[in-house]
A and B are shown apart, each in its own frame.
Chain A
Amino acid sequence: MQQQPIEEVPKYDPISPAAMQTNMYIILYARSTLAATAGAAAGILGLTGTTGFVFFFAASAVMSAALVLRTGFNPNKYFPQNRGWMQISTGEVVNSLFSYMLFWTLFSGLVHLFE
């Protein structure tokens, strides 16, 4: 008598797409506000050149820490495929860099250029 090999049942683990979209939108909203606020701060303080970019990456790191605190140090619960840490700390960073430069030049011009 031939023994049938036991087939493995594939693990069925559905993921809600509405929840994924909500979480991505929260990260987008937080990083866009960070770009505007940090750009205003850099313009007011009069930072120029490399110092301004270092300031942006430092502010982004603080925002990543705040987001990790919000997820309760377990971001894999909120993002799929076990990429939670990567998504929280590097999601939308380069996108917000351009908005940061826009607000930075705007506020530098407003505060530091005078007649």
Chain B
Amino acid sequence: MALNQVGGFILAASLALIAHSGYSAVEHISFAKTTHAGASMPIDITAECLIGLLGSIFGVVLFAGDLREIKMDREMSTRSVDT
């Protein structure tokens, strides 16, 4: 599996984690409003959000593709003289 695709999977999974933590946060706030208890964000929602953020950082760096060297002789060595 190419590095591109691994990065794509990690990025997609991290975005899903962030979306899930967001939905859980909305549910928790509505729950805390009705029962008047536990007004702070639970630790597992915070942890899920931060793990999703870290995964998306490394996933997008892998997904964005290879950097290309700028020296012209390295670039030319990848192309052949014959067409």
Contact = CB atoms under 8 A, between A and B. Distances in A.
B9 to A, nearest CB: 15
A44 B57 contact: no
B71 A13 contact: yes
Secondary structure of the A contact surface, majority rule: helix
Please classify how large the interface on chain A is, using the bins under 10, 10 to 19, 20 to 34, 35 or more. 35 or more
A69 B7 CA distance: 14
A14 interface: yes
Contacts of A107: 22
Contacts, number: 100
Contact of B29 (A30, A66, A114): A114
Contacts of A44: 18, 21-22, 25, 45, 49
B22 A110 contact: yes
A1 to B, nearest CB: 40
Interface in A59-101: 59, 62-63, 66-67, 69-71, 77-80
Contact of B25 (A26, A29, A59, A111): A111
Chain B interface helix/strand/loop/mixed: helix
Given A23-B67, A80-B70, A114-B29, A66 B18 contact: no
Interface in B1-43: 11, 14-15, 18, 21-22, 25-26, 29-30, 33, 41
Contacts of A34: 56-57, 60
B33 to A, nearest CB: 7
A14 B60 CA distance: 30
Contact of B57 (A13, A22, A62): A62
Contacts of B69: 19, 77-78
Interface string A21-39: 0110010011001100110
Given A19-B68, A40-B22, A62 B29 contact: no
